[in-house]
């Protein structure tokens, strides 16, 4: 392998390892989507992360969690997602001097510091209220937001600009809905006979969202304010333009008085 710098192929694909290594990305939610997205980013050379999650691993997570812990890791680090995912991600990072910070808590309890720290904020959470909070605070602090979610083979995602007056997540989702823990969500889903996640969809969506983050880091033209809808089984995608809502609760004015 002599003579082949680790990021040589990435450079040919248009990545700038220096920009990626210096970038700071906050990821809120370390379930199937958050882990698949994080795995792509650390392998691509993104160097600095702040990982936020308050949940613990459950057995049913193993089929869609690339960083699901081995028994030895649980004995060493416990069963909470944040420290385990940070530990595993650091081990596979291709950045020259990676830094992966984590917090066992909700985004709301962590507060605005997790937004201010980042160059890009990623919402990989089930909770609509958490996404709404992140959207409001990201807009307030002029940080771009990438968010998405999935249900069985279906997925959707968007990237939102940091620029005030442009469309944001809250423009098309003004309501706040609370969400229980991952465990409670899984129990509710089982009772309702729904399939909350499959690994193939998590991997596809994680890759698509990761590339949005990488585009933003490179200051490339990004498809802000567009909602993409896809189906991993049907290999199909469609999109819709999200127009700014003048009465959006996520506007800068409303954010100033937010929680």
Residues 196-229: tens digit of each pLDDT: 579 999 999 999 999 999 999 999 988 898 999 9
Q: Please, how many CA atoms are within 13 Å of residue 145, restricted to the half-sphere of its CB?
A: 36
Residues near 1 by beta carbon (within 8 Å), at least 6 away in sequence: none
Rounded to a whole number of angstroms, the distance between the first and last alpha carbons of the chain is 53
Residues 147-201: tens digit of each pLDDT: 999 989 999 999 999 887 777 777 766 555 433 344 444 444 444 444 557 999 9
Is CATH 1.10.540.10 correct for 8-255? no
Is 28 in a helix, a strand, or coil? strand
Helix (H) or strand (E) holding 147, with range, is strand 145-151
Residue range 226-235: mean pLDDT, rounded: 93
Residues 101-122: tens digit of each pLDDT: 999 999 999 999 999 999 999 9
Q: How far apart are CA 110 and CA 104, in angstroms?
A: 9
- What DSSP line would sit under 65-79, residue for residue? -TTPPPHHHHHHH-S
Q: Please, how many CA atoms are within 13 Å of residue 6, restricted to the half-sphere of its CB?
A: 11
Sorted by where each begins, the domain ranges of the chain are: 8-255
- Predicted local distance difference test score (pLDDT) of residue 169: 76
Residues near 83 by beta carbon (within 8 Å), at least 6 away in sequence: 77, 102, 104
Does position 251 have pLDDT exceeding 80, yes or no? no
Please report, for residues 16, 18, 44, 66, 83, the alpha-carbon distance to residue 95 in angstroms, rounded to integers and kept in the order given.
12, 9, 8, 19, 19
């Amino acid at each position: 392998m002599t003579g082949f710098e680790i990021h040589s192929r990435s450079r040919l694909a248009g990545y700038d390892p220096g920009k990626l290594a210096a970038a700071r990305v906050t990821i809120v939610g370390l379930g199937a989507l958050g882990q698949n997205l994080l795995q792509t980013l650390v392998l691509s050379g993104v160097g600095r992360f702040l990982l936020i999650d308050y949940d613990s691993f459950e057995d049913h997570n193993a089929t869609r969690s690339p960083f699901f812990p081995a028994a030895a890791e649980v004995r060493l680090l416990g069963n909470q997602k944040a420290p385990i995912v940070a530990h595993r991600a650091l081990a596979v990072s291709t950045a020259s001097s990676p830094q992966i910070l984590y917090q066992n808590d909700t985004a709301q309890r962590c507060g605005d510091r997790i937004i201010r720290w980042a160059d890009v904020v990623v919402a990989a959470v089930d909770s609509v209220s958490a996404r709404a909070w992140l959207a409001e605070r990201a807009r307030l602090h002029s940080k771009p937001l990438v968010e998405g979610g999935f249900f069985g083979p279906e997925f959707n995602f968007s990237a939102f600009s940091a620029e005030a007056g442009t469309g944001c997540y809250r423009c098309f989702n003004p309501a706040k809905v609370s969400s229980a823990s991952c465990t409670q969500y899984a129990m509710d889903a089982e009772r309702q006979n729904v399939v909350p996640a499959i690994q193939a969809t998590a991997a596809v969506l994680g890759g698509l969202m990761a590339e949005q983050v990488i585009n933003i880091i490179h200051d490339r033209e990004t498809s802000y304010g567009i909602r993409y809808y896809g189906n991993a089984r049907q290999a199909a995608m469609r999109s819709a333009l999200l127009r700014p809502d003048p009465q959006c609760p996520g506007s800068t004015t409303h954010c100033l008085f937010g929680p």
